Amino acid sequence: MHELSIANSILEAVRAEAARRPDARFLKVGVRVGELSGVEPEALSFSFQALVKDSDLEPLTLEIERRPRCQCCPACGRVFRVHDYDITCPDCGEGRTRCISGHELEMIYLELEDV
């Protein structure tokens, strides 16, 4: 379960920021997880909660923004969401479309308050 190591990496990043802001309390961290990233959001959430429980970062929560796989058609410019692994453009039928989202795995924000 690589989600545990990803959750740990997220917490390491939060702790690095906490070291720079000793007078802040960290409330929430947001991550973007793409459909093609190979990360199971539920497993990531579970791992994160297990690592935060009874730690110095409790009650930090994790918010996961899921990103679907989207393709862009070079022929007509249509951007569309992929369903059933079909990457053919629904407008013009072009089969050589380009993946433009769905592979993301990134921290997108850190919510904190000064104490």
Residue 90 lies in a domain: no
Q: How many domains does the chain have?
A: 1
Residue 85 lies in a domain: no
Q: Does residue 85 carry a pLDDT above 70? A: yes
**Predicted pLDDT of residue 7:** 98
> What distance in Å separates the CA atoms of residue 94 and residue 90, rounded to the nearest whole number?
8
**Predicted pLDDT of residue 114:** 85
Q: Residue 107 sits in which domain range?
A: 3-68+102-114
What do you get for the CA distance between the two ends of the chain, in Å?
Answer: 36
Residue 53 lies in a domain: yes
Residue 64 lies in a domain: yes
Tokens at residue 103, please? 């592979």
Q: What is the pLDDT of residues 64-84, one digit of tens each?
A: 999 999 999 999 999 999 999
Q: What is the pLDDT of residues 17-30, one digit of tens each?
A: 999 999 999 999 99
Q: Does residue 1 carry a pLDDT above 70? A: no
Residue 74 lies in a domain: no
**Predicted pLDDT of residue 54:** 95
Global pTM reads 0.88
**Predicted pLDDT of residue 12:** 97
Residue 18 lies in a domain: yes
User: Which residue type, as a one-letter code, is found at position 109?
Assistant: Y
Residue 35 lies in a domain: yes
Q: What is the pLDDT of residues 4-62, one digit of tens each?
A: 999 999 999 999 999 999 999 999 999 999 999 999 999 999 999 999 999 999 999 99
CATH code for the domain of 108? 3.30.2320.50
Residue 107 lies in a domain: yes
> What distance in Å separates the CA atoms of residue 7 and residue 15, rounded to the nearest whole number?
12
